[in-house]
Amino acid sequence: MAGFKKTSVELIITLLLILFYSIPLLAQSQNESYPIMEKRQFLSNLRTSEQTSRSTYSNAKHIEDLISKVQPSIYFNSGTVKTYGEKPVCLITNVQSLSRLNGASMLKNNIEMATVKIESPTDLNATIDLNIFTEFKNLKYIQIISAIPATELAINNMVRNNEGKYSVFFIIKNGDSEQ
């Protein structure tokens, strides 16, 4: 009887060890999704982490400059490419034009930020597949701007293949103000 208890306890411990070591491997093998935050929260978190690391370069400031200052840009809507400035660093498009993005002839190598606009309620049913941006070698940030009422959950549900390659954040505009 003592041999049976010892064997059972060893078996249980072995099973628990196998389970303990296999859970992280299982979690890593699944497609991880990274949360998409509202712009103010995203920038606040970024500033906090920069202060903690005492970095001299500010990604938060760089992103704010990309958003608020005039930058060389490409506008891509309905298959039409309009480039303003040399070596554009920003791409502005809408959800409906994303499927034609890779076939478009444009300067993609210097683009750091892509802005995708949600312009109508039907756009909320579309998907924003981040794999569409693989040809943009310098892309770091994707900004989603909703011109219609939307929720954080609705925007998160639109985005596919968010594997952490890009920093993704959103803005919901109500009239002239941000929500």
Structure tokens at 64: 């704010």
pLDDT (tens digit, 9 = 90+) per residue, 15-67?
554 545 544 443 333 335 688 999 999 999 999 988 887 777 888 999 999 99
> Which amino acid belongs to residue 44?
S
Give the C-alpha separation, 106 to 84, whole Å: 11
Contacts of 60 (CB under 8 A, 6+ apart): 43, 46, 47, 50
Q: Are β-strands 90-94 and 113-118 bridged in parallel, bridged antiparallel, or unpaired?
A: parallel
Flag whether the pTM goes above 0.85: no
Alpha helices by DSSP H, the chain: 2-29, 39-53, 59-68, 152-158
pLDDT (tens digit, 9 = 90+) per residue, 119-174?
999 999 999 999 999 999 999 999 999 999 999 999 999 999 999 999 999 999 87
